[in-house]
């Protein structure tokens, strides 16, 4: 069982470069924790530099052709100009991310607020984001709510749920064609007693209440410790409710660590579910893959390319699994054989295959190394000077 | 704010004895951990003794008129006789709990098993339990599944989900009239990599797939650490999907500790959601309250009466909350006032009110003390002699 | 068991006002999360206003005669003047808290940094804080380190441990007389892969390595989920290593929630250990009690008074426990009786006793209510106008 | 960075077969959860069969030359005979594991019990185990305590700590020469409110209180979720207090899953600390490596060989790391380079190196495959027939 079969190698080569991953504009500017924001001398300082950085990541990796925007952080007076700028750099605008947490008004929630005026303000912002989708050609409104409370009694769960659905319905009914709203969930932070969309169940019930243009978004860092995320992914795929992914990682809390840095095996198992679903004619899925990280202690572009590489390694291993043999082992109740079939792929070194696939795509076989030696990096290092 | 208002006192007195809680037959026999099962000399040794014990708990507490059964642990050749025996002791038969985990066949799951013969066996057992419901006058099939896996690759989440729904549908279509199936969820144990019904979302999606006679059952010990259980309760109430409760407690794992022993404040907050829903004409609910504990280190009847007392204390405090004032504070965004309104009730000593309510119901004001001094306890102490 | 004995009431009345708790200067200025810092119009804007606020909390509660300072946030050119100003307001300077996390130099750690120049800078700051202790009459250096890493391989645990002890030794040897250094631990945040002083064991081994003027500080929000904190408190007391407490609360993460807001029963159990140790002639302890909270969504002084009240309620209940009866129940192996003895105190309403004790001390019986109606609050509400 | 250097390959080849791992006798007999014990038709039924199974695992893996015993499960009247039997099969007796949890007397603890008679009984059992060490030539008493409580108030932490140290001191003083006692810790289970030796700090303080023949034992499944185990390992190595390891795995709870099945990356990081310590002349360590698993759903010998393979893969990857380059990257503050240096080894396929090392040792290159096709397995399959 030491080597991958030629079929497995073929599957990897054929598919691994097809996985496209959006990168986030906010991952290119300086970030930090609530205790301190570090100066990254290489960080982007303007919207254009963020676009440049996203384009550079795409230049080296070949699989990140879209940059997700955050409104108002990335707001501009000239959306057509921005779209054109991005295209001139070889990328497109990805998901539009509204901001419903950086105003004093949102202390008691945004779309869930007890105050109808605040809810209306939040809905207006969401509608503005829908317009930005159209102005930039983005098909996805990616909704993360910071709404929640810190203390028992502070608010009423059911009233907030009603306000949430009422508010989002006003946005949802403006969607048309291929436009989608992706509903993200998060267990905690910035609210620490309760979060209004706290788990995949809540997100999915809300998406179902809205309609078929609404789906659930899974962020790898947003679950309770011990949660089997791959099972949730499988359920959402089975229900036709998986709309998007935010890649990142966490060990205990925070969700802004490099994807695959803490438990790469879990990332592999999640990709196994995605690959299995792709093989299943009964599953129709249209999943938007996004990185949502802000490496506050790594140079931004470097960390982003590293993240893409980690994602590709996990995906390549998942592609290399012999799922027919796996199913056979499962139907024989052979636990050890099934586990070993996964391990055969997981323990393989897929980096040579990745290098080959990249070269076939006209890329350097080692994106991070290539970037580190490049003039593109020099430019970024010189930014603060 | 030191004293409860007379209205609050009135609400407690009027309602606190109306909360009926089933006790579990399996909580009266000897139990333990996977490391050891302790001999409790006072434990019930026969089905009749379990009924006797449940009846004694009802005799002292006045609010536990039903005993849940576990099949086959409580199996008998004479269901009418058992029903009659219970009635002669002053109680009725409560929820019927199937056992889909104590056979070698279930190593790879029961209703989710890859083997259709095992699934059929599991369905047959569930149908047998439906028949027992009718034979005993029980309106509730309380379904806890131990199905899950210990290792990545061992099985396929989506195939198991399909098998699960297919199997349960065969049982569901036999239900009629007021009969209900309650679908329980549990994060882990006895499976440690994945559990097929792992959280409230999974349970609720399954219940919805089955139909309106299916609802979700919340067991207080079955959540990830840090989960806001009262929020889940509120959502289920809002969705009309809360069917039942299993009271118990946990600190890290295991769910067989005395209700209210670890975090009584959480129990209070959960009851606040239940009381608020009762006040809301838009919420139609029909919740079965059950204790699901097996105190392996406490004398069984003693521990069960103590549990009932803890439940009543939490419920009484929740009844004592001034919800109109709470809503007003919430609508003013006054976090501190809202919290203090909850605390006014939580910090009150409701035991005198409970004593009064019990006396009004013809009971001893201190059930545990009364039982400890009683001949009923003498009988149990003498069991092993 | 409904009422507290007269002895219990006496113990509460006699002792409850003796528990002194420091409040933190940083709890009086505006705060937030990494996502947003909310404007609190009532927040202190200057060092003097922080002192004023701490003094007002003491005025109403009577048990917070010291304010902890954070350097450099509270830095002044005139320490004697500050000391005098505090004294003129009726309070004294409490623990001095260094800041080893708000500089770019500390990206890779402060006293653990691989770079000797950064370590020297950190040591210099700590020595500066020792001097401030002397200038302000503070007996305690309260050391919280943010040192840690976000990624595997980023640093070397053992080298950092050595650097940590070497650096702190240089500070420790400057201590004299009654001066103490309290070593705090925290499981995670702001570092998310590892924290150099991650648990009570690490903190205590370091304190032991330093010498008898070093002890461990327990912060209630800094443990892994499921940790039995009261056991750790008991061990530290037993070892003579408990030096201080940071009161606050958490449900999943963050440690800046109001003490007692999430699990007041746990706070009660922790106080039971402290009260038991006070009764034990073999235990010599000198514990500094501090609140370490920054309620970003509550008006600051209001939230601080509420916190003090919660602490007093928990402490009063712990004082009310009949420990002789408890020990007897324990030595009889009577689990239920032991638990009920705790519950007798926990379920009692100690607020009337607290009111009485406050009145005996010349205070308003309801500090929070009194403050809310006061001119002191008016002044704070007018601050932003 | 795609390939391992020849030096790295050399290090793996030279060292990987030197890691010796004890296997547990109890891992060869049928096991289960508190809900059910499954019949494994291949399981060992007698002490001799357990020895046989351990010997077979050694025959195929070449690195498991010792079998740990559990007393009284493995008790015999003829210790010299047993020792000889093991030697005739090519293995020796490893750690002796006492049992202080399978008696009704231990309901309230063993060496911590309030009752001196129970404590004396526990000490007697431990002394019996010391005698068995001598009779079997085992150098290690491996102490896991199930002592703990389920309810607040049930016992007194400090009294139990005192009893614990007093009891163990009586055993410790009987040790001589190279004999060691290894003190294990566990966060929870079978006690669910508190465990007397709940974390590495408690275990290590106890070991230090006993003396230099006492050290700490790390079991991979015994930590709070989110704990950085590799850091604890590094601290224990640094303190000279790491005595032993129990390999296994967990996702949420339970600790009897196959080592490396849930998070193989964490296992790799732990081995990195062990390899780094081996390279450090300042660190003197003598660590006993043991598997402590009971795969209740895998055929026993199959699962044990699989576990050994997983351990070797993790160890080989840790050996392959370029620690000089890692240290250089760390001293440059280059987080990404440091992480990539680890990843270069982690992502490599070390199985061909392992195959080569095994063949050099005269073994089959694929132990699990070889065993599955062997007559040795046939014998086990036939056991139940």
d(CA A104, CA C41): 11
Mean pLDDT of C8-23: 98
Number of residues that this document lists for chain D? 385
Average pLDDT, chain A: 96
Does residue B38 register a pLDDT over 60? yes
- Return the pLDDT at D254: 85
- Across C93-102, b (16+ Cβ under 10 Å) vs e yields bbbbbbbbbe
Average pLDDT over residues A219-226: 97
Closest to B230 in 3D by CA, of B284, B171, B291, B274:
B274
Between CA C361 and CA C59 the distance in angstroms is 11
Strands (E), chain B: 21-24, 66-70, 92-97, 140-143, 148-149, 180-184, 194-195, 214-219, 242-247, 288-291
ipTM of the prediction: 0.97
Please give the residue of chain B at the shortest CA–CA distance from D105: B38
Distances (CA, A) of D220 to A188, D246, D248, D286, D306: 27, 6, 6, 18, 17
Compute how many other C-beta atoms are within 10 angstroms of the C-beta atom of residue B114: 18
| Consecutive H or E run containing C86 | helix C79-88
Distance of CA A295 to the CA centre of its chain: 14
| Interface contact C156-D276, CB threshold 8 A | yes
Eight-state DSSP code of residue C249: B
Between chain B and chain C, the number of residue pairs with CB atoms below 8 A apart is 76
> How far does the CA of residue B265 sit from the closest CA of chain C (Å)?
6
HSE toward the beta carbon, residue A34, CA cutoff 13 A: 19
Q: Indicate the pairing of strand B148-149 with strand B194-195.
A: antiparallel
Q: At what angle do helices D335-346 and D264-279 cross, to 10 degrees?
A: 100
pLDDT for the residue numbered C2: 55
Half-sphere exposure in the Cβ direction for D7 (13 Å, CA): 5
Strands D148-149 vs D140-143: parallel, antiparallel or unpaired: unpaired
* Shortest distance, CA A244 to any CA of chain D (angstroms): 25
- Whole-number pLDDT of residue B1: 47
Residue of C265, C303, C336 lying closest to B265 (CB–CB): C265
- How far is the C-alpha of D148 from the C-alpha of A347, rounded, in Å? 40
Neighbours of chain B (3+ CB pairs under 8 A): A, C, D
Tell me whether strands A148-149 and A194-195 are parallel, antiparallel or unpaired. antiparallel
Residue A216: CA atoms inside 13 Å, Cβ hemisphere, count? 30
Compare all CA atoms of chain D with the CA of B34 and give the residue at the minimum distance: D34
Cβ(B345)–Cβ(B317) below 8 Å? yes
pLDDT of residue A210: 98
**Chain D residue with minimum CA distance to A296:** D335
Instruction: Name all contacts of D378-385 with Cβ < 8 Å and 24+ positions apart.
Output: D380/D42, D380/D53, D380/D299, D380/D301, D381/D41, D381/D42, D383/D41, D383/D42, D383/D43, D383/D44, D383/D45, D383/D49, D384/D39, D384/D41, D384/D42, D385/D41
Q: How many CB atoms lie within 10 A of CB D32?
A: 18
* Rounded distance between C-alpha atoms, residue B203 and residue B241, angstroms: 10
Per-residue pLDDT band for A378 (boundaries 50, 70, 90) equals very high
What's the rounded Cα separation, in Å, for the pair D18 and D6? 19
Q: Provide the pairing of β-strand D21-24 with C288-291.
A: unpaired
Residue of B nearest to A282 (CA): B158
Least confident of A314-323, B28-37, C365-374: B28-37
- HEC secondary structure over chain A: CCCCCHHHHHHHHHHHHHCCEEEEHHHCCCCECCCCECCCCCCCCCHHHHHHHHHHHHHHHCCCCEEEEECCCCCCCCHHHHHHHHHHCCCEEEEEECCCCCCHHHHHCCCCCCCHHHHHHHHHHHHHHHHHHHHHCCCEEEECCCCEECCCCCCCHHHHHHHHHHHHHHHHCCCCCCCEEEEECCCCCCCCCEECCCCHHHHHHHHHHHCCCEEEEEECCCCCCCCCHHHHHHHHHHCCCEEEEEECECCCCCCCECCCCCCHHHHHHHHHHHHHHHHCCCCCCCCEEEECCCCCCCCHHHHHHHHHHHHHHHHHHHHHCCHHHHHHHHHCCCHHHHHHHHHHHHCCCCHHHHHHHHHHCCCCCCHHHHHHCCHHHHHHHHHHC
Q: Measured between CB atoms, which of B299, B335, B349 is closest to C349?
A: B349
Bridge partners of residue C216, in order along the sequence: C183, C242
Can you list the positions of beta strands (E) in C25-177? 66-71, 92-98, 140-143, 148-149
Measured from the Cβ of residue C28, the count of other Cβ atoms closer than 10 Å reads 29
Instruction: Find which of A70, A150, A191 to mutate to test the C interface (most C CBs within 10 Å of its CB).
Output: A150
- Which single residue is written with the structure tokens 């279509």? B173
Instruction: Read off the tokens for D345.
Output: 């080894």
For residue C1, name the pLDDT band (cuts at 50, 70, 90): very low
Under an 8 A CB cutoff, do D303 and A340 touch?
A: no
> Which of C35, C101, C252 has the CB atom closest to A190's CB atom?
C35
Question: Cα(C17)–Cα(C62) distance, rounded to whole angstroms?
Answer: 8
Which residues in chain B are closer than 8 Å to C228, comparing Cβ atoms?
251
Residue D220 has pLDDT above 70, yes or no: yes
Q: What is the pLDDT of residue B385?
A: 76
| pLDDT exceeds 80 at position D2 | no
- With vertex at residue D183, the alpha carbon angle to CA D181 and CA D184, rounded to the nearest 5 degrees, is 140
Looking at the predicted structure, is the pLDDT value of residue D333 above 80? yes
List, for residues D239-254, the tens digit of each pLDDT value.
999 999 999 999 999 8
Contact assignment for B35 to D187 by CB distance below 8 Å: no
Q: D72 pLDDT band (50/70/90 cuts)?
A: very high
Minimal Cβ distance to A339: which of D251, D261, D335: D261
Helix (H) or strand (E) holding C48: helix C47-61
pLDDT tens-place string over residues D101-156: 999 999 999 999 999 999 999 999 999 999 999 999 999 999 999 999 999 999 99
Residue C136 has pLDDT above 70, yes or no: yes
Pairing of strands D21-24, D66-71: parallel
Contacts of B146 in chain D (CB under 8 A): 35
CATH of domain A18-321: 3.20.20.150
Is residue B223 within 8 A of residue B183, CB to CB? The reply is no
What pLDDT, on a 0 to 100 scale, did the predictor assign at position A370? 98
B372 in helix, strand or coil?
helix
| Integer Cα distance of C163 and C169 in angstroms | 10
- Give the minimum alpha-carbon distance from C263 to chain A in angstroms, rounded to a whole number: 11
Residue A3's pLDDT band (boundaries 50, 70, 90)? confident
Nearest of D119, D122, D117, D116 to residue D102 by alpha carbon: D122
Is the pLDDT assigned to residue A241 strictly greater than 50? yes
Residue D67 has pLDDT above 90, yes or no: yes
Is pLDDT at B31 greater than 90 in this prediction?
Answer: no
Torsion of CA D351, D357, D361, D367, to 10 degrees: 0
Percentage above 90 pLDDT, chain C: 95
The closest alpha carbon to D118, from D97, D101, D139, belongs to: D101
The reply to whether residue D338 touches residue C154, judged by beta carbons under 8 angstroms, is yes
**Tens of pLDDT along D149-199?**
999 999 999 999 999 999 999 999 999 999 999 999 999 999 999 999 999
Among chain A, residues having any CB pair with chain D shorter than 8 Å are 1-2, 225-226, 228, 251-253, 258, 261-266, 297-299, 302-303, 306, 313, 335-336, 339-340, 346-352, 355, 366, 368-369
What does the pLDDT average to over C318-344? 98
Query: For residue D1, is pLDDT > 50?
Result: no
Radius of gyration of chain A (CA): 21
**Residues C259, C268 contacting (CB under 8 angstroms):** no
Span A70-105, pLDDT tens digits: 999 999 999 999 999 999 999 999 999 999 999 999
Q: How far apart are CA A88 and CA B209, in angstroms?
A: 49
- Report strand pairing: A21-24 vs A288-291: parallel
Residue B334 CA: distances (Å) to CA of B329, B331, C100, C370, D161: 5, 8, 35, 17, 46
- Examine the pLDDT at B14 and tell me if it is beyond 80: yes
**Domain edges within chain B:** 19-321
Cis peptide bond N-terminal to C72, omega within 30: yes
CATH top class, domain B19-321 = alpha beta
CB D188 within 8 A of CB C226: yes
* DSSP for D299-348, written as a single string: -HHHHHHHHHHHHHHHHHHHHHS-HHHHHHHHHTT-HHHHHHHHHHHHTS
Confidence at residue B182, expressed as pLDDT on a 0 to 100 scale: 98
**Contact across the interface for A114 and B331, Cβ inside 8 Å:** yes
Using the predicted structure, report yes or no on whether residue B329 has a pLDDT greater than 50.
yes
Q: Sorting pLDDT into bands at 50, 70 and 90, what band is C270?
A: very high
Q: Average pLDDT in the D268-285 region?
A: 97
What does the mean pLDDT of chain C come to?
Answer: 96
Distance of alpha carbon C221 from its chain centroid, rounded?
A: 10
Q: Do D302 and A368 touch (CB under 8 A)?
A: no
Cis previous bond, B251, omega within 30: no
Q: Which of D109, D116, D153, D253 to mutate to test the interface with C (most CBs of C within 10 A)?
A: D153
Report the distance separating Cα D274 and Cα B44, nearest Å. 52
Strand partners, A67: A23, A93
pTM (2 decimals)?
Answer: 0.98
SS3 call for B242: strand
Please judge whether C192 and A38 are an interchain contact, meaning their C-beta atoms are less than 8 angstroms apart.
Answer: no
Q: Which CATH architecture has domain C18-320?
A: Alpha-Beta Barrel (3.20)
């Amino acid at each position: 069982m030491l080597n991958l079969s030629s079929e497995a190698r073929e599957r990897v080569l054929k598919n691994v470069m097809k996985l496209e991953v959006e990168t986030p504009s906010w991952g290119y500017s300086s970030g930090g924790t609530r205790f301190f924001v570090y100066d990254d001398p290489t960080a982007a300082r303007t919207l254009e530099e963020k676009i440049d950085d996203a384009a550079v990541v795409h230049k080296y990796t070949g699989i990140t052709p879209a940059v997700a925007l955050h409104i108002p952080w990335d707001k501009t007076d000239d959306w057509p100009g921005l779209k054109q700028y991005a295209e001139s750099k070889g990328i497109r605008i990805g998901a539009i991310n509204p901001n419903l947490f950086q105003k004093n008004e949102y202390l008691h929630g945004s779309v869930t607020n007890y105050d109808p005026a605040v809810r209306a303000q939040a809905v207006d912002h969401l509608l503005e984001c829908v317009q930005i989708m159209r102005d930039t050609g983005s098909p996805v409104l990616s909704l993360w709510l910071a709404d929640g409370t810190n203390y028992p009694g502070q608010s009423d769960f059911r009233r907030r749920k009603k306000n949430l659905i009422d508010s989002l319905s006003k946005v949802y009914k403006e969607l048309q064609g291929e436009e989608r709203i992706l509903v993200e969930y998060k267990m905690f932070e910035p609210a620490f007693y309760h979060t209004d969309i706290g788990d995949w169940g809540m997100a999915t019930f809300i998406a179902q209440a809205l309609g078929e243009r609404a789906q659930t978004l899974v962020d790898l860092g947003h679950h309770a410790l011990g949660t089997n995320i791959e099972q949730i992914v499988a359920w959402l795929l089975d229900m036709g409710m998986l709309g998007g992914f935010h890649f990142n990682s966490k060990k205990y809390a925070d969700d802004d660590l490099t994807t695959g840095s803490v438990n790469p095996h879990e990332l592999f198992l999640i990709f196994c579910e995605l690959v299995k679903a792709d093989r299943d004619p009964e599953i129709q899925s249209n999943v938007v893959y996004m990185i949502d990280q802000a490496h506050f202690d790594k140079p931004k572009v470097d960390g982003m390319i590293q993240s893409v590489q980690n994602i590709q390694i996990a995906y390549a291993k998942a592609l290399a699994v012999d799922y027919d043999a796996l199913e056979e082992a499962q139907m024989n109740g052979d636990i050890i054989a099934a586990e070993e079939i996964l391990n055969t792929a997981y323990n393989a070194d897929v980096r040579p295959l990745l290098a080959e696939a990249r070269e076939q795509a006209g890329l350097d076989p080692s994106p991070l190394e290539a970037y580190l030696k490049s003039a593109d990096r020099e430019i970024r290092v010189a930014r603060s000077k």
